[in-house]
Amino acid sequence: MKYDLLIHNVMLLTAGCEIQEGMSVGITGSRIAKIAPADQLPPSQAARVLDGVGKLLMPGLVDAHTHTSQQLLRGSLADEFPMIWVRFLIPFESALSPEDVYCSALLYCLQAVKAGITSFAESGGRHMEQVVRAAAKSGMRAAISRSMMDSGNIPPSMMEGTAEAVAQNDLLFDRFHGAADGRIQIFYGMRQVMTCSPGLVSLVAEHAKARQTGIHAHLCEHRDEVSFCLQRYQMRPAAFLDAHGLLGPNLIAAHSVALSEGDITLLSKRGVKLVHCPYANLINHGFPKTPRLLEAGCSVGLGSDGAAYNSVDLFEEMRALRASLLSQWGLPVFDPVAMPVQAMLRMATQGGAAAIGLGEQLGRIEEGCLADLITINMRKPHISPSNNYVTAILDTVTAQDVSDSIIDGKVVMADRQLSNLDEEAIMAECAQRMHALRRNTAG
């Protein structure tokens, strides 16, 4: 059999988070066709070969909650007090032109690919057709939502009528769902309970169900949201969304920090896909209850939450979350494995894959799965030698150690050289737009 691509003689991270050495992976089309010892899959069997010597092959990371248009807001939120999204994020988004959004999304994709992220879930904003355009150009896989708001304290330019908002999401779905050879999915977006009426929540649930697609929402991100919901509806946010048909296996519930025991039981029962954004949460929202969520059987993924607070780097997000959870959950009861390494790696791969509705065919290296893979250059003094390379992935690997990226069976980065994006041109264009936005929004 002739493979389109062969990753030859590589260390391989299995779905069970174990290391297999001296392996080769043959890829045909968009799928993993064969996994075998390197001596059983010679380079002559492939049209293209990536040399895996000194590299670790693992599933591509999934950024399961991000705001690609926030790249141009970098460095603006340090030392600011809540509510950040009211004072900065929403006004900033309202000022963006379609080309601003496109350039920002390209910059996100550039950084994400170089950081080992092969898929992302865009939680929504203005001009989402431009995010589709950028994702398609980059070669990335994406689940893109149109975040909708029909009430609350937001600029008039961001406010929509309930029916109009859902109709626009319908149009986005009809135009782009399945685009870029199937790499693009269109989800329905609901910003959060403070800016969405009960009618909008119900319509989002109905339209997503009718189209058999996902929903992306912020849930229990901070105390103000919980307080608002209790005062307005006499229910906590999770129960409120459930009462309007929104909770289900197709829902990404971003942040999920301020959860009660009742919330956790309900979210687990409904099969909701929870996503933590460690840096953003730790700066403004608090400590998530991840060990309890996993114990309850919840699916948990990781997200960067955009670039407003930090770089798009899920290796750093994993480290931040594990350190915080060990201090909050492990230290008081002397449990150093309250958040195991393997659990963290699964969150960044399999948990994210489940969030974007591809849990059965993404996030693991198995025959028949989609070929979204990355290699890590292990020949670095901060990584090798090591007595445990699984632990090394979490403790020492950085985004800069990612060498190659394969998405949908195609090489989009080889030896850190991108195939589809002009790095210098994107950075220069974004710098100009960032300065222009700062001038236009000053004062």
Q: Poorest-confidence range of 171-185, 291-305, 334-348?
A: 334-348
Q: Where does the pLDDT of residue 197 fall: very low under 50, low under 70, confident under 90, or very high at 90 and above?
A: very high
Q: What is the mean pLDDT of residues 330-344?
A: 84
Residue 303: pLDDT above 80? yes
Residue 345: pLDDT above 60? yes
Q: What is the mean pLDDT of residues 190-212?
A: 96
Q: Which helix (H) or strand (E) holds 285?
A: none
Residue 87: pLDDT above 90? no
pLDDT digits (tens, 9 = 90+) for 22-32: 999 999 999 99
Non-local CB neighbours of 88 within 8 Å, separated by 6+ positions = 73, 76, 77, 80, 308
Q: Poorest-confidence range of 150-154, 300-304, 314-318?
A: 150-154
Angle at 131 between CA 365 and CA 187, to 5 degrees: 65
Q: What is the mean pLDDT of residues 183-195?
A: 95
Contact 304, 312 (CB under 8 A): yes
For 204, the token pair is 């989002």
pLDDT at 183: 98
Q: Poorest-confidence range of 34-48, 167-181, 303-317?
A: 303-317
Strands (DSSP E) contained in 331-424 are 373-377, 402-407, 410-414, 417-418
Distances (CA, A) of 295 to 15, 269, 289, 291, 356: 19, 13, 10, 6, 22
Q: Where does the pLDDT of residue 380 fall: very low under 50, low under 70, confident under 90, or very high at 90 and above?
A: very high
Give the integer Cα–Cα distance in Å for 307 and 326. Answer: 25
DSSP symbol at 38: G
Q: What is the mean pLDDT of residues 376-393?
A: 96
pLDDT at 211: 98
Q: What is the mean pLDDT of residues 108-118?
A: 97
Residue 341: pLDDT above 60? yes
Residue with more model confidence, 331 or 57: 57
Residue 128: pLDDT above 80? yes
The whole model's pTM is what? 0.96
Residue 285: pLDDT above 90? no
Residue 117: pLDDT above 60? yes
Q: DSSP H helical segments within 63-149, as ranges?
A: 84, 90-94, 98-114, 128-138
User: What end-to-end distance do the CA atoms of the chain give, in Å?
Assistant: 64
- Express as a percent the part of the chain with pLDDT over 70: 95
Angle at 249 between CA 370 and CA 33, to 5 degrees: 10
Q: What is the mean pLDDT of residues 404-416?
A: 98
Residue 407: pLDDT above 60? yes
